[in-house]
Structure 1
């Protein structure tokens, strides 16, 4: 392959691809080449590659004319800043040895890079078993579970999302030890597969799922998972080691009180009550009685709040339960539809 790369790119498409690829680039590293993106022009396509050692991403840039095939290794931050600030619809990029030149109408930038040969080889996994799921289904399942995962928890296995495939069903589970989110959907084929995917990897993957009708092929091999998104690119990630907690044991199965709310009304009431909470008094109280829920909060030296919310379908004795407001609001953000059902049994049991 010739050492010199020369391409003409649609600026908007290049900006989007650079932003996505740069999300993989580590903010701190002792290996300078990892702060770069590898650009590969071949067979009429331009591919961007990024890695942090644990995650590898390869993206195909749309709207590109490859005038000369080649490779380049360019600092991600500077290339992204330059292309973003260009006002032209088309950007020309070419390389000479380790120098990349970016040209627009009336502007020229030269960026000093590195030898492409110094970049780590592309990570690939030979997945013995793979299955497909639509981008829309996967995006929805990730949104409904990723928010509940732990951040830098000592229990390493919950720093990711459990992904279970059994036959034609796929289920994702996220938890931080205090809350649990479970979502399921359909997929293709037969067979079983279990993965614990790091949260960072899923945050990047979900940005690749813009076309709801595209398919995502998911495979697993040698402690790695591969997500091949149709028309976008491929994400290869190391998996979280360890055993995911037995989450099904903590899901209440004897709830005898159920009530339905307007999701927007409930979220608004919780946000308002949370205005009078602090570090010492973080929780809000839910008092269920008749056809009204009273959401209340009280914080010493600040004050107290009480908001009434209409509810329907509640039967049984009055009950009062405390919740962390952020936990409920996070869940309501990803609920589809206007109505939400809350299930409970007693103040000592978790709510669903």
Structure 2
């Protein structure tokens, strides 16, 4: 194999592939990215046997001799990042791989590319088509709420529900729940059944990263034990989390007598950051008291101090106080624009708070006990 590539697009593609390849593995071959030069394009594949990716690079690629090679992730990534050359030449022979720039040259050992496990391509006849922008937004607004500690394995990922005309993403750790709905076109009658299309947190974050901001649409196909995502230049597959997701719709409050207040992210986030200054890892609760046209945020931590921040709100009913973990409300604010309006719904101090936007996003936070 002998090819030349523009360094910048090659580095971007290699970086994404390298994020899937494990740094260490009992199967040492998995710590490589496979390069295949054929048909006028370069295909990069990587896998850790749970998640896999196929990336096509055509920009700035010139193929003199077709072939395949394995490039070690850490050394190759370092070479590409440190190089100032506009073009990189890759050439293989019986002794290894030669990476060469205008003023640099590196010889690396080469494994057998024929031994690299195959990474499946997207050949499904049934799948969903949805907006790339919508998919990225759905992931960002739900993935942070998943259970990163994996105390309950089924919560260690984002649930995707794909039905006729609609896509729903859900993330929860048992203490808060984030969900977003959007439009999606079902091709060939594609849909998911049950609550078991759970994409692992790391995998769906990689999928979101692989979606180029310039992509208009993506294709998603759910199968019995894995999920495939196709963009213009990439295919990613991931094994699904084993288990069944909770009946999450029962968590969404359905209340007739709840109070709904129109608020804006920016002012709420600013007040929250101020109130949280006197909190610590052990004392994370902030009291949210609604009454007399004011939202009062109060926090108190022994040996640190107290805070009280006020915001004007359109509420003149009986005072209601909810104690919420400030981190959970901050996570909601971080994934929205500062000018984004939202509704804050509450009923009593012991019932969940429901935050929602007009574009299909809902977020439930369970209250803390008053003694925190």
Most deviating of 104-113 and 124-133: 124-133
Pick one of 137, 141, 146 that aligns with 2:138. 141
Give deviations 1:303-349, integer Å, cap 9, x for gaps: 0111112223x252111111111100111122354322110111111
> Is the 2:228–2:238 contact (alpha carbons within 8 Å) kept by the matching residues of 1?
yes
TM-score after normalising by structure 2:
0.89
Give deviations 1:148-177, integer Å, cap 9, x for gaps: 011132321110101001101100000011
SS at match of 2:20: coil
> Is the 1:54–1:238 contact (alpha carbons within 8 Å) kept by the matching residues of 2?
yes
Give deviations 1:127-151, integer Å, cap 9, x for gaps: 4521211211111111111110111
Structure 1: gaps of 5 or more residues:
none
Q: Which residue of 2 aligns with 1:259?
A: 261
Q: Is 1:178 equivalent to 2:178 in the alignment?
A: no
Most deviating of 69-78 and 260-269: 260-269
1: distance between equivalents of 2:94 and 2:40? 21
2: distance between equivalents of 1:192 and 1:176? 25
1: distance between equivalents of 2:2 and 2:237? 27
> Is the 1:297–1:306 contact (alpha carbons within 8 Å) kept by the matching residues of 2?
yes
Q: Is 1:327 equivalent to 2:324 in the alignment?
A: no
Give deviations 1:92-118, integer Å, cap 9, x for gaps: 111113611111111101111311112
Give deviations 1:31-55, integer Å, cap 9, x for gaps: 1111100000010000111000101
1: distance between equivalents of 2:281 and 2:81? 41
Aligned length: 346
> Is the 1:128–1:221 contact (alpha carbons within 8 Å) kept by the matching residues of 2?
no
1: distance between equivalents of 2:54 and 2:215? 20
2: distance between equivalents of 1:169 and 1:98? 53
Give the superposition deviation at 1:266. Answer: 0.6
Structure 2: gaps of 5 or more residues:
355-372
1: distance between equivalents of 2:163 and 2:306? 48
Moved runs in structure 1, 4+ residues, more than 4 A?
A: none
Q: 1:262-273, aligned counterparts within 5 Å?
A: 262-273=264-275
Give deviations 1:197-253, integer Å, cap 9, x for gaps: 1111111111111234432111123411110112x2100111111110011111111
Q: Which residue of 2 aligns with 1:199?
A: 201
2: distance between equivalents of 1:13 and 1:246? 43
2: distance between equivalents of 1:308 and 1:96? 70
Q: Is 1:45 equivalent to 2:23 in the alignment?
A: no
Q: Is 1:163 equivalent to 2:173 in the alignment?
A: no
Give the superposition deviation at 1:269. Answer: 1.1
1: distance between equivalents of 2:120 and 2:63? 24
